[in-house]
Structure 1
Amino acid sequence: MGKVKELESLEKICAYDKNRGSIGIYLKKFLDSNNISFLRNLWVQHRNLGLKSLLLDDNLIAAKQHFYTCGKLDEYLILYHDTILLPSRFTIALLSDNTTLIESYSQLKNSHYELSKKDDGVIFHAMQNVLTDNYEALNDNIKTLDTLSKKNGEWESTFYDCCKLFFIGMTKLEGLKIIDALNQLVDPVFHKKRVLSHTIDLIATPEAGFAKLAWIKGIHIDIKSYLIPYEMLPIIPNETYHIEYEFLKNRLK
């Protein structure tokens, strides 16, 4: 599906959610903060509205607010329901430009934290280590990515190799390596093989998060792909952010 059709689909999904009150009075009245599936669906709805604000409404402030809400929901799920640490959700939090939320993500852990950094969770860990300038731990992550590349299939190996190249670029602040890695990751043929999501032609995760990390560290790259929207890369926080739901206000800082 091409970008135009994907945008049309996104608009319909957001309109449907709005009409049935998914993010409104009805939802707030019956929201169950102990229902993990419900909270994950709520995250998806805010992610969709953030993408709509960004790509259809040209409203960066609204997009960053929705992405901030996604980050707070994910933070709640990790801290109170011990859910998995996902680079795709880290990416959306980074795009919020909320410094307090991003600082929180740099320290987030679940009960599987130590085990996960030796396997698929390594990318989340590496993103944290970039934020905290922990290059010793980042070099360990790079070694793990190399190991994962050697024991997986073709497209998985390519993905881990590109991630490894990106993080090597970050350790040395080498923009060309970073750009090379991201260009390979958002190659249209490779990207469609790797990702199964209705947002496949709208934004790439964790690639957009990787690009954002580069900007946070002062490497102002521009990837010529609509999968990494350039307008979201400069660090421009909203003047204010609000916490959408009472249970988040009560249990998160």
Structure 2
Amino acid sequence: MIGPAFIGAVSGESSTTPSVLWTPANLSTAAKIWLKETGLVDAGGGAISQWTDESGSGWDFTQSTSASRPVIVPNALNGKSVAIFDGSNDVLVGVTSANALYRAKTYGWAMHLFKKTASGSAVDRAMFAARYPGVGWYTTYVGSSRGSTTPVLLARRLSGDSASFFDGTSLSVGWHMLMGVVNWGAGTGQLYVDGSLMASANPFTSTGTTSNIAANEITLGAGSSTGLYADVSIGEHLAGDATLSTGDIDKLFGYMAWKWGLQSLLPVGHPYKSAPPTV
């Protein structure tokens, strides 16, 4: 059990409580999906058959077709393994129960630690999607018809609504931390990159809770099980259906940056630029 430890049991000696690092397990409201490097399942030869969810929801992402499996690369970043999606046919599909992630919800968010493999052509490439006819249709792109390395947030609220989207600023090819946040209740959306708010939209969607209809699938590494494949490496992925405070968002970026050795990407003035968050 991890908890406070006290040093100096002898009378007269000072005692200290060492810091315990903050992780997404300490979020005010737990994430519903948490895929990290320890959950990658090698089916043989580095091909990933499953990425085990470690949030407690049991919402694993799997791939039974050998040719569509991303590949594990050990020691890819800060001594940790990542999954490489080839941008051609690689995709992991969530269990059916995960399709209800954004069903009848007011809030939704997702965060990715990723690297764009190459600038490539300007086509739509989705890293994470809960797809139509699901409500709160939510997709985060890196690379789109508007730019090969452009992050895009796309969402809608009601099953009959048109999709809404807005672009961020083109990213350099390399490792980044990307978060998309939707408040369907207020009809707003935000894109955060490397600890800074990159872009926002208000209004973004219609306002209210999402429709009471589940998505038909939820996917990682593509916009669906049959298309919009992303040419990315992904080291960690989180998603949730509750509001995030500014403090939660700062801690998520601080956690991810220090865990993966990317603290230099955090902006000057970020609360966790010089040290990781603790509990």
Fold-level similarity (TM above 0.5): no
TM-score computed with the length of structure 1 as normaliser: 0.29
Considering only CA atoms, is the larger Rg found in Structure 1 or Structure 2?
A: 2
More strand by share: 2
More helix by share: 1
TM-score computed with the length of structure 2 as normaliser: 0.27
Between the two structures, name the one with larger relative contact order (CA 8 Å, sep ≥ 6). Answer: 2
